[in-house]
Amino acid sequence: MFQLSNLPFFTFIFWSCCTFNGVVSDPQTNLLKIQCNPFNEFFINNISIFNDNLHATFEDIREQISDQNKHFATSQQQRQGENPVITLFQCRNYLPIIDCVACLDAAAVRIRSCVATIAPGAHVVYDGCFLRYNSNGFFDETTQDFNFASCGNQTAGDQAPTFTKTVRQVLMNLQVATPRIPSFFAATKMNVPNGKAFDAGCFMRYSTNSFFNDSQTIDITPMTKQGSSKKRVIIIGGVVGGAALVLIILALFARIRRRRRNERVPRGDITGASKLEGLVTYNYNDLISATNNFSEVNKLGEGGFGAVYKGTMKNGKVVAVKKLTLQQSRKMEEDFESEVKLISNVHRRNLVRLLGCCSKGHYKILIYEYMKNGSLDKFLFGRSKGSLKWKQRYEVILGIARGLTYLHEKFLVRIIHRDIKTNNILLDDDLQPKIVDFGLAKLLLEDKSHLTTRIAGTLGYTAPEYVFHGQLSEKADIYSYGVVVLEIISGQRSNELRLHGNDAGAFLLQKAWKLYEQDKHLELVDETLDPNEYDAEEVKKIIEIGLLCTQASANMRPVMSEIVVLLQNKNSLEKMRPTMPILIETN
């Protein structure tokens, strides 16, 4: 059986031992694995509130499963504005709902052993279901260190050559058939040995024993023929095995993401976000005191939306205080609180947390979590230039992609940043990236095109269709992301003209494309990086990903969830080849 949910994508792989001769109807609560996250991964400042939030997510999911006959559900709770909990439950589609509920109840009891250790997150896996909670967002994750495999004690024996051939064929069939089915659920039935494996990815299972009803089985063959993509049927069962499993899953995930681009459920605007938590408001006089009356000494920087100051609150907590530079209008006054309320509900590791706001007369102020390492640009071009090793740069590239994936595809509404650049990427204590200033530009409805006369962004990072035509979509952020990727690899500013050498008179994007055409990618790499610290082919691939993002045609650029998969896949881009970008000069 193979399932990829229509809700935020989360994967899980396992193989189990059972017989195809009968029908199994039980919760299948054989425990496979439980894992508690390290307590220092994310701080829980009030375990009682955290427990209440966790319990509320369990109740919400149980209600969804039992009342709506669902096999997959998610829930988020953040009572009293702190200690958020995000929970996901997935039950095997072949189980009756009553068994899914029983499996959920068993998992909820088992996973509380992690809560007792103040773990900010945990997974528990049974034969019949999977439960996960976390204090931070995780819906865009495709794999992590939860991977585990266990082979059964049976072998193919003399039938090994036939078995291997069969497995390979079924893997190919599933790869073709599954994306063509709306529920991304496909299966077939044949006799094979046993095994179990699971991951934070997708779900597969094979066995000689029955784990679903025979009446659900449909021949998979028609779905694998050319021209059969219009046949939308649910096909049950699955056969998997061999070392090619991970590669097949990654390829399948990429294909599904491409298909889902045009099939996403439309998300409403701010007024439709009915489950938003309340907004924390700060006292203006307290902010005056915290920033020493917004003194220059406390000033951290200034951007298109206003100046940012370091503030120390009365309780000792250090925050970043942004005084917004906004046009005064009745509409802005009306929209300010609702827009800021929306932004404050965004919780993701790679996004800077908005703690609250303050509105005092014509003053509009936002209070963010404080990042003492400051912005990425100083590590690439400023006083800390050359201090980031290749592994750290890769983590920054991946983290930015994850943050943008959440904004574009995972949150209640689609948020387009419009100004992705290195000084809007902050680094935390572990040098993990956090995107700031998201949501301060207009929000774009997913099912409507949008033209705007005001261009928000920075030349050198801004997509050509946005500059020339004012045409805005998430692909504008993807273009900017591609430019940032090239800056991270090269240690060069995108809008800085090359004055010496063979690339004299060229900007970064021009230089990168020229080197790509000549298959001299590595000449772009920052000279401060030790060649012994990185794999040349990996760097070449990521340069090509940057160029895929900066293609002149917005439609040809991949979406952010695809980029995350491409970055994590250790193989080459195969047939994906970038086309020439358009350079927008900054003068």
For 360-392, write each residue's pLDDT tens digit. Answer: 877 889 999 999 999 999 999 988 898 999 999
β-pairing verdict for 425-427 and 433-435: antiparallel
* Other Cβ atoms closer than 10 A to 197: 22
Domains of the chain: 27-141 (3.30.430.20), 157-260 (no CATH), 276-369 (3.30.200.20), 381-568 (1.10.510.10)
- CA 296 to chain centroid, in Å, comes to 37
Residue whose structure tokens are 């919760």: 27
The string of DSSP letters for 102-113 reads HHHHHHHHHHHH
Residue 324 has pLDDT above 50, yes or no: yes
Confidence of residue 496 (pLDDT cuts 50, 70, 90): confident
Residue 42 has pLDDT above 80, yes or no: no
What pLDDT does residue 238 have?
43
Q: Report the C-alpha gap between 534 and 523 in whole angstroms.
A: 14
What pLDDT does residue 586 have?
46
Mean pLDDT of the 282-295 span: 94
Mean pLDDT of the 311-337 span: 80
Strand partners, 74: 88
What pLDDT does residue 507 have?
85
What pLDDT does residue 375 have?
94
Closest of 103, 116, 164, 123 to residue 37, by C-alpha: 123
Confidence of residue 138 (pLDDT cuts 50, 70, 90): confident
In this structure, what token pair is assigned to residue 468? Answer: 């020339």
Residue whose structure tokens are 């089985």: 217
Per-residue pLDDT of 181-212, as tens digits, reads 656 666 666 655 665 555 555 667 666 666 66
pTM of this prediction exceeds 0.85: no
Confidence of residue 140 (pLDDT cuts 50, 70, 90): low
* Residues forming the active site: 419
In this structure, what token pair is assigned to residue 74? Answer: 């998610």
In this structure, what token pair is assigned to residue 484? Answer: 């940032």
Decide if 567 contacts 482 (C-beta within 8 A).
Answer: no
Residue 247 has pLDDT above 50, yes or no: no
What pLDDT does residue 291 have?
95
Confidence of residue 246 (pLDDT cuts 50, 70, 90): very low
If one compares 156 and 531, the residue with the highest pLDDT of the two is 531
Angle at the Cα of 298 from the Cα atoms of 434 and 318, rounded to 5 degrees: 55
Residue 495 has pLDDT above 60, yes or no: yes
Strand partners, 185: 3
In this structure, what token pair is assigned to residue 281? Answer: 């408001």
* Other Cβ atoms closer than 10 A to 287: 22
Decide if 481 contacts 560 (C-beta within 8 A).
Answer: yes
H or E stretch covering 260: helix 245-260
What pLDDT does residue 299 have?
93
Arithmetic mean of pLDDT over the chain? 76
Confidence of residue 274 (pLDDT cuts 50, 70, 90): very low
Residue 550 has pLDDT above 80, yes or no: yes
Closest of 116, 99, 120 to residue 45, by C-alpha: 120
If one compares 447 and 485, the residue with the highest pLDDT of the two is 485
Q: Report the C-alpha gap between 70 and 479 in whole angstroms.
A: 38
